[in-house]
Amino acid sequence: MKLYEDLAAELEHQIRNGVLSAGTRLPSVRRASQHRRVSKGTVIRAYLLLESRGLIESRPQSGYFVRKVAQRREPQALRASRPNPASAPVDVGRLVLSTLRSIGADAAMPLGSPYPDPKLFPSARINRYAHAVARTRTQWSVTDELPPGSPELIRQIARRYLENGTTVDPHEIVVTVGATEAINLCLQAVARPGDIVAVESPTFYAMLHAIERMGMRAVEVATHPTHGIDIGALARILGRQRIAACMVMPNFQNPLGFRMPDERKRELVALLARHDVPVIENDVYNELYFGTTHPAPLKAYDSKGLVLHCASFSKSLTAAYHIGWAMPGRYRDQVEKLKFLNTLTTPAIPQLAIARYLEHDGYDYHLRRVRKAYAQQARLMIAAVNRYFPPGTRTSQPQGGYVLWVELPPAVDAMRLYRMALERGITIGPGHMFSATQAYAHFIRLNYSYAWSPATERALAEVGKMAAACMRQAPR
């Protein structure tokens, strides 16, 4: 164990055995450092770890205090989904739109937001680059904004993949208006109205939107909460019906947060290659990992050009500029043409501003800070859900990203809970949005990207009470 973990374990033992009772003030960081003969950083990390476990709390200008410890309840792991294998038309757009509007309401606690906290982004620096580009470049041509995009940005994107262990061909990259456009263009390139598209279950609703918009049908594939799509189940589906494409998020999937093991990524790519089925990979969270190594994309295992890789800077750097890209493999020319026909251009100034930030500024430093914050806040939220939600609640164990998937007891109707929470100024993401068949009626998605605060904890406690009330009022 590391020194700070040693110290945290000792203090936790004393708290749980009543040696340190509720309300006891812990020694100051300086005093604990001197007494234990460890660095102040070690003490701070130990205290933060205990805080993430709900054992102590920080009071401004007063220090750290022992909390009242509720009876310990270990988090229960999620189970693998078992969706209906029949294909279904998709109709979740209206629900998602109304939900997103409510999430954007003034002063609402954004537990249901799909967006990261913008306060963690270096917006001022990127804006300065944008202003400098606009000020110094007086001659503009439409060719600066035409597909495939700014050569300067494309070069930086390719360099980033190389730094993270994946070699890509910069000529394959097509810059888009965010990852959503990239996903839509890739789906349009490989499938037609009426086609069947295989998706994870649960799946991110932007994938369902793309299928719905193009008049296609979705078939949901069972997905394990820690290692991803059930490859055996997908193989059986491929054996009995024609699948035009598959859409997956192998790295920190929204809403489950898993990181698909590398051997399963290889297996998935090989299976789809045998059936000559293209796969659209949504990899927008790839930079937001909690471990020590960058995750490999499916693209790294593609030898037939069947992986259409989509990503963006919206989750890791800035959501304001809506800059994404696609690496569509053998479908690259179709995607570039569709980009031109659909939206013609991608604005040049945001592309160049991001390119110059990547080249000259501290992207890695920024990402380390964001990953550390998200990992800490994930632990805090899991601990709070475990503490305040009804017995029988299960949570995902995110390995990256910033969303938590919560399975409530079956008696809780997530839509009813969503409406009750909204009346109290709290937003949550109802599970109905993550399935074409609205299969997740007692699930919710929570966002932990926003800085942890007493208000956040109070909101989660309130949602837990409302969930318990839903259980009591449910028909017997």
pLDDT digits (tens, 9 = 90+) for 170-202: 999 999 999 999 999 999 999 999 999 999 999
Average pLDDT over residues 90-110: 69
| C-alpha to C-alpha distance for 215 and 213, rounded to whole angstroms | 6
Reading phi first (left if > 0) and then psi (alpha if -120 to 50, else beta), residue 144 is in alpha
pLDDT band at 18 (very low <50, low <70, confident <90, very high): confident
Per-residue confidence (pLDDT) for residue 92, from 0 to 100? 67
- Condensed to tens digits (0 to 9), the pLDDT of residues 61-71 reads 788 999 876 55
Q: Tell me what pLDDT residue 105 has.
A: 55
Q: Is the peptide bond before 110 cis (omega within 30 degrees of 0)?
A: no
pLDDT exceeds cutoff 70 at 73: no
pTM value is: 0.84
Q: pLDDT band at residue 139, thresholds of 50, 70 and 90?
A: confident
The C-alpha atoms of residue 371 and residue 48 are separated, in whole angstroms, by 15
Looking at residue 13, its pLDDT comes to: 83
Average predicted confidence (pLDDT) for the chain: 91
- Placement of tokens 């949504």 in the chain: 282
**In the structure, what pLDDT confidence band is assigned to residue 76 with cuts at 50, 70 and 90?**
low
What local confidence, expressed as pLDDT, does residue 75 receive? 55
Beta bridge partners of 222: 201
pLDDT given for residue 58 in this prediction: 86
Question: Is residue 89 predicted with pLDDT exceeding 60?
Answer: yes
Lowest mean pLDDT among 32-41, 173-182, 361-370: 32-41
Ramachandran class of 442: left when φ > 0, alpha when ψ lies in -120 to 50, beta otherwise: alpha
How is residue 372 written in tokens? 């550390």
What's the mean pLDDT in 454-473?
Answer: 93
Closest by Cα among 197, 208, 201 to 225? 201
CA quadruple 31, 32, 37, 41: dihedral, nearest 10: -100
Site of tokens 């300086």: 30
What domains lie within the chain, and their CATH numbers? 3-66 (1.10.10.10), 92-117+368-472 (3.90.1150.10), 121-363 (3.40.640.10)
Kindly report, residue by residue over 295-354, the tens digit of the pLDDT. Answer: 999 999 999 999 999 999 999 999 999 999 999 999 999 999 999 999 989 999 999 999
For range 80-86, the mean pLDDT: 72
Q: How far apart are the C-alpha atoms of 300 and 338, rounded to whole Å?
A: 25
What local confidence, expressed as pLDDT, does residue 36 receive?
87
Residues 430-435: contacts with CB under 8 Å, at least 24 apart: 430/95, 430/99, 430/112, 431/202, 432/92, 432/95, 433/92, 433/95, 433/96, 433/99, 433/205, 434/202, 434/203, 434/204, 434/205, 434/208, 434/255, 435/83, 435/92, 435/201, 435/202, 435/203, 435/208, 435/220
**455, 121 in Cβ contact below 8 A?**
no
Place of tokens 């990207």: 449
Distance CA 235, CA 127 (A): 47
The pLDDT, as a whole number, for residue 291 is: 87
**For residue 266, what are the CA distances in angstroms to 219, 235, 256?**
22, 14, 20
| Residue 3 clears pLDDT 90, i.e. is over it | no
The rounded distance, in Å, linking the Cα atoms of 199 and 190 is 15
Who wins on pLDDT, 269 or 19? 269
